[in-house]
Amino acid sequence: MQDKNPLQWNIQQNSESVIVQLFGELTRDTLLPLWKQRASFLSPKINQHIYWDLKYLQHVDSAGFSLLIELLNDYQKQNSNCMINVPEVVNNLAELFDLSDWLRSFLYCENK
C-alpha cells in the first residue's frame, strides 16, 4: 500500500537547540523510517534543547502517537524536549491513553 503523505522530517540545529519538523502522516504505515534513522539524524549534544515541531503533521494514529511518546521519553534523559504546534489529535490521544498530564510537561518548556 502506497502512503498518501509519507512521513518526512527536517532538522535545524544550532549550538543551543535542535528543531525537528515532522511533515505528512505519522502512522503505523509511515513511522518505521523515522524510528530506524533517529540516531543518525538526531544526535543532540547534552543539554541541547529539542523542539518537536508538529505543525505540518496531517494525520497521527495511535502507533504514531506511541512513537512520539517514546522519542520524548528517550531524549528527555539528557536533553529538554518541547513540542510546538501540537495538533489537537495528539492531545486527544494523550487523553485517551491517560497521558495528558505527562504530555503537558512537554508543552510548556523553556531552555533550562
Residue 81 lies in a domain: yes
Render pLDDT for 78-98 as a digit per residue (tens, 0 to 9).
888 999 999 999 999 999 999
The pTM (predicted TM-score) of the whole model is 0.88
**CA gap 1, 67 in Å, rounded:** 21
Residue 3 lies in a domain: no
Range of the domain at 99: 8-104
Query: For residue 63, what is the domain's CATH number?
Result: 3.30.750.24
Residue 1 lies in a domain: no
Residue 63 lies in a domain: yes
Split into its structural domains, the chain has a count of 1
Render pLDDT for 24-53 as a digit per residue (tens, 0 to 9).
999 999 999 999 988 887 887 888 899 999
